[in-house]
Amino acid sequence: MSSRARIPNRWLGLVVLSLTQLMVVLDGTIVNIALPQAQVELGLSDGLRQWVVTAYALAFGALLLLGGRVADYWGRKRTLLVGMLGFGAASLYGGLAQSATELIIARGLQGAFAALLAPAALALLTVTFTSGRDRNVAFAVFGTIAGAGAAVGMVLGGLLTEFADWRWCLLVNLGFIAVGFIGGLFFLSESRADGENRYDLLGAVTVALGLGSLVYGFSLAEGGWGQPSTITFLALGVVLLALFVWIETKVAQPLLPMRVVADRIRGGAFLIQAVGGSVMIGATLYLTFHLQIVLGMSPLSAGLASLPLPFAITLAAPVVTRLLARFGPRYLMIAGPLVVAAGLVWLSFITADGDYAVQVLPGMVLMGIGMAFVFVPLQNLALLGVAAHDAGAASATTNTAMQIGGSIGVSIFTAVYVAVSASSGAAGADPATAFTDGYGATFIAAAIGMVVASAIAIGMVRGPRLREMAYDADGGADTGAMRALPVH
């Protein structure tokens, strides 16, 4: 029996999986525009305000590897459905939160259940679309949604905040959950890894503590990189992650088999994903602050002003898909980050009295085009050559890179912003100018990160397997589909 016959309604299943991915990604940023309103109502300090964003990304990233193994062993469809229910409950809790602590806890719980949802969704995509034209069309759709989701979250957050209440930025998930859960029941097929399966709990605890320590250390850098507490947590994070790697080489069934990340192409894709996450989650947060705090836009206006970024990603994706078939992923992965960097450099020249159409719009369009070059091939590269038994772990690593990159990005950009804006204010600048000086510095820092991502692509995204990616005879001209041929 063919793969098509075994998997019923797989294109409707793609809709369910894409909807799940959209919800997971946009929830990383949907509260960004609502933060000023939530801060006033719940009495959040400036330090706690950052943790509304970081708690989600940190819990998500720290638990993703375990979530990937749960999906592999327990069943990917079952894990997806349970994750949906938990995510909905956490969203309801956050939407009804009466204190800053409750909101931050709810965001952490959302991240924890997202750690079940995301790897299960990507693993289901991998085993549902196994090769050829259909696989690449599916990954193009999924990758485009992953790239645009953060910006879509800001737009939706602005709409809900202005016309309803900031709480609806969390409660809106209940609608996604209802549609996704029912669709998942009918249009997704169960799959799981074969053989004896054991959970690597020691590895799970070690990597969660290591990533948590690392991100917390970066968040403390706002008060100074040389503080003992900053150095201690950063060093502890590095030690714990090194211990995690050692553990994974010793256990029989590791949480993250080193063969998944040791592959040069996949390793490069994971690193580029981390840098991309820092920009999409971290840098766009400060763009939102500029639109509202400096330019004085309402939440809805700020959300609409962010639309060029996802529009550029969406419009560029079909073109990128065709280029992917013609030139392969290597050149796209090299050029894409440089285009994003150019957009960030443009944004770095913002001024307190500047015009949105001149100072902001071109930079966002460049960022969107560049991100399409990155995200369309990235998901496929990150799973290139992964055995079915490791699909959940590889999927989890892809999402871990995005979320931990975003967590670290928010912390680093906050430290840069605080240092530069404080220096500007001390030099006699008015508050709006001090703000824009700080925002501009964060965009330069993000641009440097994207240049590093391009260098990673030059060094790591290369090899025979990329050259052996070729047109599908029946679909290359229309979809830019590629297939990975076996390597001998």
Tell me the backbone φ, ψ of residue 228, rounded to 5 degrees. -55, -40
| pLDDT (0 to 100) of residue 334 | 93
The structure tokens listed for 110 are: 């959302």
pLDDT along the chain (488 residues), means of 10: 49 86 82 84 78 86 84 89 96 94 94 89 83 78 72 83 91 92 89 76 90 85 82 94 92 84 86 89 84 89 87 86 83 94 96 93 95 84 75 74 85 87 88 92 95 93 60 35 30
| CA 244/CA 312 separation, integer angstroms | 39
b/e code 361-374 from CB counts within 10 Å (16+ = b): bebbbbbbbbbbbb
CA 81 to chain CA centroid, nearest Å: 21
Alpha-carbon distance of 120 to 78, in angstroms, equals 9
Angle formed by the axes of helices 100-128 and 46-74, nearest 10°: 30
- Tokens for 474, please give them: 């029946």
Helix (H, G, I), strand (E, B) or coil at 75: coil
Q: Taking the CA atoms of the chain, what radius of gyration do you get in angstroms?
A: 21
Whole-number Å distance between alpha carbons of 128 and 376: 18
Q: How long, in residues, is the chain?
A: 488
pTM of the model: 0.80
Distance CA 125, CA 412 (A): 33
Superfamily of domain 9-190+255-474 in the CATH hierarchy: MFS general substrate transporter like domains (1.20.1250.20)
Strand, coil or helix: 470:
strand
Q: What is the pLDDT of residue 259?
A: 85
Quick check: 397 and 274 in contact, CB under 8 A? no
CA angle 167, 171, 174 (to 5 degrees): 180
pLDDT of residue 464: 57
Q: What is the pLDDT of residue 328?
A: 80
The CA-CA-CA angle for residues 169, 171, 174, to 5°, reads 125
Structural contact between residues 217 and 234, judged by C-beta atoms closer than 8 angstroms: yes
Distance CA 365, CA 141 (A): 20
